[in-house]
Structure 1
Amino acid sequence: MRILFTTAPGYGLTFPIVPLVWAARAAGHEVLVATTGEMVDAAARAGLPVADVLPGHDVWQELIRATGSQEQTPGFERFLAERGLTEAYEKLPRDGGPFSLFTLTMTQGSIEVGRSFGAELVVHTTDHPTGRLTAVALGVPVLEVGNRVSWSSRDGSFRTGRNFYDDDELSLTLRAQLGIPDGPPEVIARIDPRPPSMGGLVGDEPDQVDGLPWWPMRFVPFNGGSAVPEWALQRQDRPRIGVTLGTVVPVMSGTSSLSVVVEALGGFDADVVLAGREADLADVSPLPDNVRAVGFLPLSAFLPTSSLLVHHGGSGTTAAALHYGVPQLVLPAFADNPMSAERVVDRGVGLSHDPTTVDVEVVRAAVRKLLEEPAFGTAAREVSAEMALQPSPASVLERALAAFPG
């Protein structure tokens, strides 16, 4: 079978679905990832065939310009005009997150790529409606995959109306512009990757919402590949603490909270691993002697030997720590970060604090609590054990193909 995977162009939006693409390819299916921006190279480095649906344009930079009320770049302005999308762009909500912009700019290219590829099935992430529209245009069914452990539209915990459904103004504009038929695609199932005790499905029995089946799936962390350094494989006598703000927060909100965390942890008898792009960490200096800056080293390289992770609340980061049974201190930034933090605190696997008011003493007190009170580690290991019992991506794919129409 020829399966088209459509994802939005962000690490936290694309990486969670990579293990499912691997499963499809390992099962002998032809696969193609339809995305753009940095994810073209990231998917290729993950060993996947990928097509750039918006070549020549950096939609992330246009998003940053739009949220900052800056003018479009000339090339992007021409692109919108040539596609007849200028009016639709001007109507996009500036406070609605990136999803509407991704849908506006990526749908035509995704349809064209899917048609050329001969896609028989579209697999799309919940937050990327382009996949749904592509499936309707191609007349093929979809498998919708949740790519976050912090929310799911199954329980209504992240509904925005305009961003995720087919009857909003943007969708109607694109349907008219691209000749996409009315109505939703045929949905085989929707996949929920959350652990049972954090809102996910219990066991492997499907749930039913709005007449559609929901299936559970184990979250398998993928943070990129790397050569794992020797120190990351070794457990130390003193705690190892990972620290990251991901890839988006440093660009959108800066690194002031990261500087506070680094200063606070410099006073601990612990090995601190600071992960992030070198350009994003340039202002976080000088580093204490016990802090090791490791660049863009995947979390999976050092989380197995870590005692704690301090981070921004990105869903993939949150889920990776859960997978490895590591307690967390979350300093939530924006988007669904606060929801991730809330679920972490409610389940007892970590603590949270507002990054705009955090200071050195607050961080030190939280870290001491997380390292010294065993309840956090116990809860984190319980969630990890739950996740290990959920159906693997390979088994979910097999189930989906068994339910494939015809």
Structure 2
Amino acid sequence: MRILFTSLASYGHLYPLLPLASAARDAGHDVVYATGPGFHPTLEKAGLEPVTAGLTLHEAFGLLFAGDTRSRYEVPEAELNEAIGKAFGRLLPTRFMTDLAPLLAEREPDLVVYEMGNPGGAFAAHQAGIPAIAHGFGRVSSGGPMDHISEQLGVFAAELGLDGDTRFFWGQPFVDICPPSVQAPEFAAGARRVPLRPVGWSEPGDLPPGVESRDRGRPLVYLTLGTTGASQAHLLTSALRGLASLDAEVLVATGPAVDVAALGEVPSNVRLEAWVPQSELLPHVDLVVHHGGSGTTLGAFAAGAPQLLMPQGADQFTNADAVVGAGAGAKLVGDELTTEAVRETAGRLLADRAVADVVRGLAEEVAGMPSPEEVAAQLPQYG
């Protein structure tokens, strides 16, 4: 079977698809992966054939704000949400459609698997008469910028002759890596879900020294604000100071958007790392403090770790609400996010037995979901 996978060129959008794409390849299918060239080395390391398609998020927003000298934080929320709707609901899908059309004609895949943030894959498949299924990257959110995206996509899809609710991806099967108990109820009830266990994916690499051999009597707290511009030095510093005052080891993944020098000197119980293999690290962690990105949220569910979320944008707020609603952690938003609040909340979560029971149950729920190999075996029925 010939299968084309496609996603936006972003860690949070591409990494969730790699386990299924790799399992499909291992099952003997002819797999090609279409995304931006910046992630082609990652795909090659995973043993997948990359091809170029689409714009990056930076390119898309560069086009929308061409000539605008304001920083992202100077743009009013309403204007920013409208731009997000245009980027994800029209600009990015259009470019992916354009780039995928000749590729689909040349490769003639039997099935297109498109990441939910890249509906251009669905639109291109529809125009080529090829079956398509969606692949999620986390909880399906609504509200805020998501409503603007859905509105734009609904108009675009109607122009192409695709009927159905955009929230449920035009009635197509949807590979859902979110545990059912924390998935959006409306989506879980209405979509044609194909459950898939969220398997973390990291670039191959070693864990920081001492993580595997450390004394488990002292908790390990992992702090990350992800790989996007949401990573701000002042926010990281505030959280870091609060965590450093705990009787715990603190491992901070600073990511590419933070100047480590700007963090200054850190206490002896804090370790700064530009990058860590997160999927390998999480099973060793006692608390995850993060921005609310889908990959980290699901990874913590799978690892059975409590979470303290500090959401900054996009779907991070609804992810935080889901974690809090499940009893699996806490959130700090806006003015609540102080050094003292981080210290107090993190200390409470580390000692809370009720939270420990909840996250243990979530880990068991994730472990019981179908594996990538099991879902790869189902793919021929959708082609």
288, 291, 301: which is aligned to 1:309? 288
375, 383, 389: which is aligned to 2:362? 383
Quick one: distance in 2 between partners of 1:162 and 1:351? 28
Name the residue aligned to 2:223.
243
After TM superposition, the score normalised by the length of structure 1 is: 0.81
Q: CA deviation at 1:102?
A: 2.0
Name the residue aligned to 1:6.
6
Correspondence list, 1:2-401, <5 A: 2-54=2-54, 59-65=56-62, 69-71=65-67, 93-96=82-85, 98-100=87-89, 101-148=91-138, 150-151=139-140, 160=147, 162-163=149-150, 167-169=154-156, 172=159, 182-183=161-162, 189-199=173-183, 209=190, 213-236=192-215, 237-248=217-228, 251-252=229-230, 254-277=232-255, 280-282=258-260, 283-401=262-380
SS in 2 for 1:395: helix
Quick one: distance in 2 between partners of 1:145 and 1:165? 20
Quick one: distance in 2 between partners of 1:272 and 1:98? 37
Quick one: distance in 1 between partners of 2:156 and 2:369? 37
Q: Deviations over 1:273-300 (max 9, x none)?
A: 1113355243222222211112121212
Assess, with a 3 A threshold, how the Cα gap between structure 1 residues 307 and 355 changes in structure 2: closer, same or farther. Answer: farther
Assess, with a 3 A threshold, how the Cα gap between structure 1 residues 224 and 12 changes in structure 2: closer, same or farther. Answer: same
Quick one: distance in 1 between partners of 2:136 and 2:257? 31
Letter in 1 for 2:317: P
Assess, with a 3 A threshold, how the Cα gap between structure 1 residues 25 and 64 changes in structure 2: closer, same or farther. Answer: same
Q: CA deviation at 1:327?
A: 0.5
Identity %, equivalent residues? 29
Quick one: distance in 1 between partners of 2:184 and 2:19? 19
8 Å contact kept, 1:10–1:38? no
> Aligned pair count?
363
**Aligned-pair RMSD on alpha carbons?**
3.0
Q: Deviations over 1:5-52 (max 9, x none)?
A: 010111011111110001100100010111115323332233321111
Letter in 2 for 1:191: V
8 Å contact kept, 2:141–2:318? no
Structure with the bigger percentage of helix: 2
5+ residue gaps in structure 2?
69-80, 164-168
SS in 2 for 1:317: helix
Quick one: distance in 2 between partners of 1:6 and 1:278? 24
8 Å contact kept, 1:257–1:356? no
Segment drifting more, 337-346 vs 264-273? 264-273
SS in 1 for 2:330: strand
Letter in 1 for 2:299: A
Letter in 2 for 1:190: F
8 Å contact kept, 2:225–2:255? no
Letter in 2 for 1:151: V
5+ residue gaps in structure 1?
73-91, 176-181, 202-206
Name the residue aligned to 2:77.
none
Segment drifting more, 22-31 vs 94-103? 94-103
Q: CA deviation at 1:315?
A: 0.4
Name the residue aligned to 2:71.
none
8 Å contact kept, 2:300–2:306? yes
Quick one: distance in 2 between partners of 1:139 and 1:280? 45
8 Å contact kept, 2:207–2:280? yes
Q: Deviations over 1:70-129 (max 9, x none)?
A: 428xxxxxxxxxxxxxxxxxxx94142742332132221122223222211100122211
Assess, with a 3 A threshold, how the Cα gap between structure 1 residues 32 and 329 changes in structure 2: closer, same or farther. Answer: same
Letter in 2 for 1:305: H
Q: CA deviation at 1:223?
A: 2.9
Q: Deviations over 1:153-205 (max 9, x none)?
A: 8xx99963754886414874xx5xxxxxx44699662222221321379xxxx
Quick one: distance in 1 between partners of 2:344 and 2:86? 33
8 Å contact kept, 2:221–2:288? yes
Assess, with a 3 A threshold, how the Cα gap between structure 1 residues 29 and 164 changes in structure 2: closer, same or farther. Answer: farther
After TM superposition, the score normalised by the length of structure 2 is: 0.85
8 Å contact kept, 1:240–1:273? yes
Q: CA deviation at 1:302?
A: 1.8
Quick one: distance in 2 between partners of 1:376 and 1:241? 16
8 Å contact kept, 2:19–2:201? yes
Name the residue aligned to 1:81.
none
